């Protein structure tokens, strides 16, 4: 049984991947179905609903990453934390600003940039969970 920091990282990484899969597979594809005249209202509702979830998921992930690094920073742990950091960095530097611009109206270029960042976040979340699982097994 992994110790508490590794277990928390594993749970947080799994939650993060589940959240990211939901966004990638359900939430963002639904954006394409929103008529242009309803875009702003839809995007405002999306932002209002998803922000608390983002705060909880990334907050838990941050606590788990910090705790596991303080406990025992091995190669797998550092890889998991690095993948989590990449996903968080993409959210802060690409996704959040893109959503800010998209609040004013649909913009194909900004939406493509958001979707690319989203694919990278999904890949990062997948790597993070795989590394967290391997780290927990080896802890």
pLDDT, one tens digit per residue, over 71-114 is: 988 999 999 999 999 999 999 999 999 999 999 999 999 999 99
- Token pair for 73: 């920073």
pTM for this entry: 0.93
Asked if 3 and 77 touch (Cβ cutoff 8 Å), the reply is no
- Token pair for 88: 């968080």
Asked if 117 and 19 touch (Cβ cutoff 8 Å), the reply is no
Scan for tokens 């594809």, then name that residue: 29
Structural domain including 91 reads: 4-138
21-79: pLDDT as tens digits = 999 999 999 998 999 999 999 999 999 999 999 999 999 999 999 999 999 889 999 99
- Which of the four pLDDT bands, split at 50, 70 and 90, describes residue 133? very high
Domain count, the chain: 1
Handedness of CA 74, 75, 76, 82 (dihedral sign): positive
């Amino acid at each position: 049984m992994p110790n508490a920091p590794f277990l928390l990282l594993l749970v947080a990484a799994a939650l993060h991947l589940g959240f990211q899969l939901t966004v990638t597979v359900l939430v963002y594809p639904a954006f394409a179905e929103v008529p242009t005249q309803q875009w702003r209202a839809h995007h405002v509702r999306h932002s209002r609903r998803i922000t608390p979830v983002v705060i909880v998921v990334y907050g838990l992930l941050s606590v788990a990453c910090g705790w596991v690094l303080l406990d025992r920073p091995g190669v797998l742990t550092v890889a998991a934390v690095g993948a989590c950091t990449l996903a968080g960095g993409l959210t802060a530097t690409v996704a959040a600003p893109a959503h800010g611009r998209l609040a004013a109206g649909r913009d194909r270029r900004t939406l493509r940039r958001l979707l690319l960042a989203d694919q990278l976040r999904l890949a990062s979340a997948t790597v993070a969970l795989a590394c967290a699982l391997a780290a927990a097994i080896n802890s």
